[in-house]
Amino acid sequence: MSRQPLPDIPSPCVGICTLDPETGLCHGCMRTGDEIREWPRADNPRKLEIVQALRERRIASGRVSASDLRPRRRRRG
């Protein structure tokens, strides 16, 4: 059984695009400058890695939403 390809992953940008000089993270989406530059060329598996890293950063910083705290379902197959 082959795996289904990932659907297109939308950009995590929220329109508050300034990098914190101390952390190097965007104030809005919490991506690094490198992740922001990489996003348009990244394939979906890489985008998923970035989104998962953002979730961990939000949790670590206390900037969480209900969806960040929800357990993730395991992929069947």
pLDDT of residue 21: 96
> Phi/psi of residue 74, each to 5°?
-80, 145
Q: Encode pLDDT of 29-62 as tens digits.
A: 999 999 999 999 999 999 999 999 999 999 999 8
For 30: left if phi > 0, alpha if psi spans -120 to 50, otherwise beta; the answer is left
Mean pLDDT in the chain? 86
